[in-house]
Amino acid sequence: MGLAMQGTEWSDQHFAPLNLLVIQASPFCNVDCSYCYLGDRLNRKRIEISTVAAAVRFVQDVPLAKMPLSVLWHAGEPMVVPMSLYERMFSCFSDGPQSIPVEHHFQTNATLLNDQWCKFIKQFGVRIGVSIDGPKEIHDAYRIDRSGRGTFDRVMRGIDKLREHAIPFSVISVITPAALSRPDEIWEFLSSLGACRLAFNVEEAEGAHPRSSLDGDDLQALTRAFFARIAARQEQTRGIPVRELRAMRSHLSAPPGSIVQQACNRPGAIINVDVNGNVTTLSPELLGQNHPKYGQFAWGNVHTDSWRDVMQHPRFLRAQQDVERGVQQCMRSCGYFEICGGGNPSNKLAELDRLDGTETQHCRLHVQAVADVVLEQLSARLARPTR
């Protein structure tokens, strides 16, 4: 794989095909989680239909990894935008000569879910991910509204609506210090929700949240213990699949020498479009950020630029050169490289103030801790005599 950049331009062969199109329908969020990375979440602007239509035109030139393409409405609460606008936005993908088969995804705080939204979700087959961190006390420690009130009860009402309408949903839960010592409670609670899959993110330093409360030397051991307990419970009960464990098992049973390709550091794999039509690739969290070295993370606009323009934008080339150097450094220095793929640029920027750095706290807590747990689990399983 020719990863090294030659000259000052990238050729197509350096890019991955598009797996995920992230669109910011609005930067606004009705919830004010204390660990949120988004800096503009009081901005009530809504995306224009013309911008969505331009985004559809924009991706015509982009090689797609799969059909249907996953379109994730995120970087703000998707349900603050009216259903009627979504109907028109969805039709930009489905109607006309440039139509693209897509599957729409909402990652939502669920507080605005009601019968009308549920009917809409069913009608358009929208895939739903709900953000909930655990039982009330744990969830409400961070996921609060602008009055400082916990949002747990409102989220649960939303989940009740999904269940009432038999809408499948997955759950993403953020691991905070409040959660680390209570894996059993969290497992039992999240397992009881009726979700089809669980995913755990760790609270991380990123964007508008420059310092994670999971920033401490002892936290890798605690996080490993958390995942070990979740893995044990999952294995004992053959319970709900957990994204991190399932992915790691897959990576650890792949042929020796295989290297996971991390979409966040592979240009083209994810394309991000903000409410104004600005475009980036790589980690979605970078979109809209400013940095003294890299300038504004916006490398084109769907109204005026093509994918090729983005690929040749000087600020993209500057950033990507460092991202690639960071991945190469990870390859040389980190024993986990094969099952990680070189880390997440947005975490490197937030934690190390550079894109060409290597290990971050996010690596230690969300990759290495999980890998250690699954390695131990698989080693134990493989050591058992076969019957």
Contacts with another protein in 299-358 (CB under 8 A)? 325, 328-329, 331-339, 341, 344, 356-358
Piece of the chain touching another protein by CB under 8 A; list 51-59, 140-148, 150-158, 191-199: 191-199
User: Under the criterion CB under 8 A, does residue 262 sit at the interface with another protein?
Assistant: yes
The single residue among 100, 112, 144, 375 that binds another protein, judged by CB under 8 A, is 375
Terminal alpha carbon distance of the chain: 42
Q: Binder to another protein among 24, 26, 107, 212 (CB under 8 A)?
A: 107
Interaction of residue 101 with another protein, rule CB under 8 A = no
Nearest to 131 by CA among 173, 100, 159, 91: 173
Kindly state the smallest distance separating residue 23's Cβ from another protein, in Å. 12
**DSSP assignment string, 107-139:** EE--TT--HHHHHHHHHHT-EEEEE--SSHHHH
Name which of residues 136 to 165 contact another protein (CB under 8 A): none
Tell me whether residue 53 or residue 364 sits nearer to another protein (CB atom).
364
> Measured between alpha carbons, how far is 373 from 360 in angstroms, rounded to an integer?
19
Q: Give the C-alpha separation, 83 to 89, whole Å.
A: 10
Q: How far is the CB of 148 from another protein (least distance, A)?
A: 25
3-state secondary structure of 225: helix
Q: Is residue 201 involved in binding another protein (CB under 8 A)?
A: yes
The answer to the question of residue 248 lying near another protein (CB under 8 A) is: yes
Binding string, residues 222-241; x marks residues near another protein by CB under 8 A: --------------------
| CA 368, chain centre distance (Å) | 18
> CA 115 to CA 165: how far, in whole Å?
8
Contact 174, 131 (CB under 8 A): yes
Q: What is the largest CA-CA distance in the chain?
A: 64
Closest to 274 (Cα-Cα) out of 286, 288, 260: 288
Ordered DSSP codes for 299-326: --BTTT--HHHHHT-HHHHHHHHHHHHH
* Sole binder of another protein in the list 63, 210, 216, 314 (CB under 8 A): 63
Strands of the sheet with 197-202, listed across from one edge: 197-202, 169-175, 127-131, 102-108, 69-73, 20-23, 270-273, 279-281
Q: Which stretch binds another protein (CB under 8 A): 78-86, 221-229, 313-321, 375-383?
A: 375-383
Tell me: does residue 89 bind another protein (CB under 8 A): no
Question: How many residues bind to another protein according to rule CB under 8 A?
Answer: 80
Residues 269-288, interacting with another protein (CB under 8 A): 269-270, 284
Taking CB under 8 A as the criterion, the residue among 125, 256, 292, 385 binding another protein is 256
Which of 146, 381 has the CB closer to another protein? 381
Question: Which one of 125, 382, 384, 387 is in contact with another protein (CB under 8 A)?
Answer: 382
Work out how close the CB of 267 gets to another protein at its nearest, in angstroms, rounded to a whole number.
Answer: 10
Task: Write out the binding residues for another protein, residues 68-87 only, by CB under 8 A.
Answer: 70, 72, 74
Q: Helices 115-124 and 83-94 sit at what angle, rounded to 10 degrees? A: 0
User: Exactly one of 129, 277, 288, 345 binds another protein (CB under 8 A); which one?
Assistant: 129
Taking CB under 8 A as the binding criterion, the range among 114-122, 148-156, 195-203, 294-302 that sits at the site for another protein is 195-203
